[in-house]
Structure 1
Amino acid sequence: MTRTFVVTGAASGIGRATSQLLEARGEKVISVDLRDADIEVDLSSDEGVEFLASEAARLSGGTVDGVLAIAGLAQPVAKTVEINYYGTIATLESLRPLLLTSAAPRAALVTSMASLFPPDDTLLDALLDGTRATAMERAEELAAGTPEQSGLLYGTSKRALARWLRRTAASADWAGAGIPLNGVAPGVVTTPMTAGLTASEADRAALLTQVPMPLGGIFGPEAVADLLAWLVGESNGHLCGQIVFIDGGSDVVIRGDSTW
């Protein structure tokens, strides 16, 4: 039976590869992005998320079998936090009612191996336990600071998202409702987001000194799409709150024998 999936960030990179894979398998994909998508919307605002939910309900007929929250931003601006953290969570929460009518609902999000890097603790605390206003005030401070400070926005937002997933997946709203909620943490993937960092062999070599990937090095988005497709597939009925690092070994090199 054909399943229906909502994929955010579907116009490029991992989102596009995932959409193409699901469509090639005969599934129905409702694509979401700023442009070139079934639902064209900015997920950094409450109004955008409300529009997403209403359009997804209309286009799906009221039932969604899987949500893949892939949309993200990796720029040294405060909006990176709005998209990566608040936008991802709002996407999942706003579409959860559509998952409840599926016989086998699934949801997945995308964090990053950058979540392993030291975060800005003030921003992290504000995201997890403070108010959105406080968090965005700190995000603006970092964005206006040094390159090192603004560079903390991406990894901190992804670490906060990973912690939200761990806190949320086993709750009554998700596991209790029969919805496996999991995530992936890619290493360096060749997408438009990383194009400026991987343009030459010298660029790639320099990047790999910061992000060690001993197994295969930098890879394409199709590998991440394969993993995401399994996470939202019917055969995955018991994985709950897991973040799978698909990073060529970065997690192993950086964290050693430390495990959850």
Structure 2
Amino acid sequence: METRTYAVTGAASGIGAATAAHLASSGAKVIRCDVRDADVLADLTTPQGRDSLVSGVTAASGGRIDGVVAVAGLALPSELTVRLNFFGTIATLEGLRPLLAASPQPRAVAVSSLSAIVAADESLVESCLTMDENAAAAAARALAESGRGRAVYPSSKLALNRWLRRAALSWAGSGIPLNAVAPGVVDTLTARTTFLDDPAARALVAAAMPQPLGFPGPVDAIASLLAWTVGAANSFMTGQILYADGGAEATLRT
């Protein structure tokens, strides 16, 4: 079997690092992309950084990749969250799509979030889907200034879900399955320093996102699912948002 080549963003830490390690352990070539400690250094909150990602991955891959795993994201009450989670992710997928076209079994996946069904702001979501980045950034700033900054992150992920469901149809026409994985709360360093190590904050999040299979969840479970979606075995699933959340989405929607 021919060795597959993958580009993974957000690969320096958390889910991205775990996914890159999982893919590499299977014998794949992994091009790690991040703002630090990576093969390709790129800040996906900026147009220049997005261009650097494409040129860097093109050079590192020789012009062909078999899968894209778009993990890079932020959870700050800031316009940077929208610029990275929505516009940076789309720029990653669209920018690397020509490299996927050279693969006989191309696949792509983005990381969404369970929080998209909990606390998103529809006005920010619609601002994103107009594809006007400056307007969406302004909407995110307005939420933060009004004390509703916590809605920025889930809104960026809900917008991504809606974009992806629509885009997957045209991608399928090119033979490229495009999906998303929506994790619940998993045990990453960012989660620990943000709220898991604070008993009060941890209890609040656990109540909002009940996970019958355990809270927080294991990072490796997310990594293995992401790896499967971009593997050759996934030949017939596209346009799906896969909730890997210990049962939280089912609990909240039942």
State TM-score, norm by structure 2.
0.96
Give the 4+ runs in structure 1 shifted more than 3 A.
200-206
Relative to structure 1, is the Cα distance of residues 29 and 117 closer, same or farther in structure 2, using a 3 angstrom cutoff?
Answer: same
**Does 1:192 find its partner at 2:192?**
no
Task: Give SS of 2:38's match.
Answer: coil
> How many residue pairs align between the two structures?
252
Q: CA deviation at 1:197?
A: 1.1
In structure 1, list runs of 5 or more residues that go unmatched. Answer: none
Q: CA deviation at 1:202?
A: 5.2
In structure 2, list runs of 5 or more residues that go unmatched. Answer: none
- Identical positions, percent: 47
Q: Which amino acid aligns with 2:111?
A: V
Q: Which amino acid aligns with 1:45?
A: T
Aligned counterparts, 1:1-260, within 5 A: 1-129=2-130, 131-146=132-147, 149-171=148-170, 174-195=171-192, 196-199=194-197, 203-256=201-254
Q: Which amino acid aligns with 2:45?
A: S
Relative to structure 1, is the Cα distance of residues 150 and 29 closer, same or farther in structure 2, using a 3 angstrom cutoff?
Answer: same
Q: CA deviation at 1:217?
A: 2.5
Task: Give SS of 2:205's match.
Answer: helix
Task: Give SS of 2:8's match.
Answer: strand
Q: Which amino acid aligns with 2:172?
A: A
Q: CA deviation at 1:136?
A: 1.3
Relative to structure 1, is the Cα distance of residues 244 and 27 closer, same or farther in structure 2, using a 3 angstrom cutoff?
Answer: same
Task: Give SS of 1:88's match.
Answer: helix
Task: Give SS of 1:156's match.
Answer: helix
Task: Give SS of 2:231's match.
Answer: coil
CA contact (8 A) 1:74 1:193 kept: no
CA distance in structure 1 between the aligned counterparts of 2:200 and 2:48, rounded to whole angstroms: 43
Q: Which amino acid aligns with 1:121?
A: E
Aligned-residue CA RMSD (Å): 1.2
Q: CA deviation at 1:11?
A: 0.4
CA distance in structure 2 between the aligned counterparts of 1:130 and 1:6, rounded to whole angstroms: 24
Give per-residue Cα distances to partners, 1:191-230, cap 9 Å, x unaligned: 1221121115554333211111012221121100000010
Task: Give SS of 1:170's match.
Answer: helix
Task: Give SS of 2:179's match.
Answer: strand
CA distance in structure 2 between the aligned counterparts of 1:136 and 1:202, rounded to whole angstroms: 31
Relative to structure 1, is the Cα distance of residues 201 and 140 closer, same or farther in structure 2, using a 3 angstrom cutoff?
Answer: closer
Q: CA deviation at 1:118?
A: 3.5
CA contact (8 A) 2:83 2:133 kept: no
Task: Give SS of 1:55's match.
Answer: helix
Task: Give SS of 2:85's match.
Answer: helix
